[in-house]
Structure 1
Amino acid sequence: MKLATWNVNSLSVRLPQVLDWLAANPVDVLALQELKLTDDKFPAGAFLDAGWQAQWFGQKTYNGVALISRTEGSDVVKNIPGFEDEMSRVITATYGDLRVIGAYFPNGQEPGSDKFAYKMRWLDALRDWVQAELQNHPRLVLMGDYNITFDDLDVWDPVALKETIHCTTEERNKLQALVDLGLSDSMRLFDQPEKNYSWWDYRDFAFRRNRGLRIDHILISEALKAQATGCAVDKAPRKNERPSDHAPVVLTLA
């Protein structure tokens, strides 16, 4: 089984790239973020024609999430139950006995801002809900664009970016709180190349110079840990014409 997450930074722009990637990489579930389109604009027909099922939760501007899968998901939940939110950030479904949460974590803008405070509240609510989900679904995956680095290994210049957005102690503590529920960063279960990132700014030739951040993560529950056989960033789509600024992260389970 293969699971993947990819912030596509506009599905309307990147749909052909997503379909091409799925054809070449037939994963079981792909979590998408930043659809940047409303529900009525979601290209369900295009995915269905290509043999894929889809669950989606759209919104224009910078939000919207979806789960693309081989089989139809059940028990679908949108956003975090009990947390009032106008943003379309979370979509969850069950595939067999596997619970998959696809999430687009808030950016946070900058420490001390209202958006940063919202990010902290959102992360607290997510943790509480994931804790409850784990009680009912021991085989659980939480994947998406976290907009948080784990540590300095995830940052191209940890000195210059120290305590800036994505790299603050507050954000990393909230990420660790998720891990402390009994989840593991699947990427770190395996040897990885140095300077292993999943996002690169469009400016200043950042991708070519590998000046990036690892902010796209796949966390897995203890029940899945023994089944994990590999996890890697697929940089190939970042080389496309008009690419997303993120690359897919792919987890393989035995």
Structure 2
Amino acid sequence: MRIATFNINGMNARLPALLDWLAETRPDVACLQELKTPHEKFPEAAIREAGYFPIWHGQKSWNGVAILARGGEPLEVGRGLPGDPEDEQSRYIEAIVDGILIACLYLPNGNPAPGPKFDYKLKWMERLIVHAKQLLDSGAPVVLCGDFNVIPTEADVYKPERWVDDALFRTETRAAFDRLMEQGWTDALRTMHPGETIFTFWDYFRNAYGRDAGLRIDHLLLSPALAPALKASNVDRDVRGREKPSDHAPTWIELDLGLQGK
């Protein structure tokens, strides 16, 4: 089973690129972030024609998340991150696909920091930590994935000294992410590539992609029940170098579901 996460950075603007990638790689599940489209403008027909069954949580101009499943409708089990009924930003959706609970998230950027946006980011992370623990306590096989807007370590960023004061790399952000990981999640990409320089995002400016001046901020985290099933994980880096690309590249895992819990 192949599960991918991809911050598309504008669903309708990048639709041709998304469809090309889906046709080439055929993931069983694709989790998308930053749709930047109202709910009613999501290109459902095009996605279904490509062989995928979608659920999505849109928002005009900003945010937005979706889960696309190949071969059958995903069973939606959650929409919006619990913990703040006043939060109207479209950043979280959950579904069950082939017995796996897939949680797709777009964690707030938080810049400029310090400030209200950074405060919102940290509060959102606290809510995520609480909800993630509940998912683990359920014992279900879970993939928690998406654009976390978190650079976990210095190994995950080009020239870390330039990012010390950025919301993605501030000590408060990394400490919150560490607390999440301490619950027992497995960082799939780093597990499969422990010593490599491997990025998932390259800015549009200053030829960042050409210089490989990137960040690793797109993560796929596996619950203990699912971690033994991990076979492979990587980044479709070349997608970032194509015409009119997202500033992120798709990141994916392959699971052998027969090895769950073993």
User: What TM-score does the superposition give when structure 2 sets the normalisation length?
Assistant: 0.94
- AA of the residue aligned to 2:180: L
The match for 2:6 is 6
Mapping of 1:1-254 within 5 angstroms?
Answer: 1-70=1-70, 71-84=72-85, 85-191=87-193, 194-254=196-256
Rounded to whole Å, the distance in 2 between the matches of 1:137 and 1:65 is: 25
**Cα contact 2:30–2:69 (8 A) shared by 1:** yes
Greater shift after overlay, 1-10 or 69-78? 69-78
Rounded to whole Å, the distance in 2 between the matches of 1:50 and 1:24 is: 11
- AA of the residue aligned to 2:117: K
Number of matched residues? Answer: 254
Rounded to whole Å, the distance in 1 between the matches of 2:195 and 2:129 is: 30
Rounded to whole Å, the distance in 2 between the matches of 1:133 and 1:194 is: 30
Rounded to whole Å, the distance in 1 between the matches of 2:38 and 2:62 is: 11
- Share of identical aligned residues, percent? 39
Rounded to whole Å, the distance in 1 between the matches of 2:100 and 2:205 is: 38
User: Unpaired segments of 5 or more residues in structure 2?
Assistant: 257-262
| Distance apart, 1:45 and its partner CA | 0.7
Q: Secondary structure at the match of 2:16?
A: helix
Rounded to whole Å, the distance in 2 between the matches of 1:237 and 1:48 is: 22
Rounded to whole Å, the distance in 1 between the matches of 2:137 and 2:96 is: 14
User: What TM-score does the superposition give when structure 1 sets the normalisation length?
Assistant: 0.96
| Distance apart, 1:163 and its partner CA | 3.5
- AA of the residue aligned to 1:76: V
**Cα contact 1:195–1:210 (8 A) shared by 2:** no
For the aligned residue pairs, the C-alpha RMSD in angstroms reads: 1.2
User: Unpaired segments of 5 or more residues in structure 1?
Assistant: none
Q: Secondary structure at the match of 1:12?
A: coil
| Distance apart, 1:162 and its partner CA | 2.0
Greater shift after overlay, 35-44 or 183-192? 183-192
- AA of the residue aligned to 1:128: V
| Distance apart, 1:130 and its partner CA | 1.5
| Distance apart, 1:194 and its partner CA | 3.6
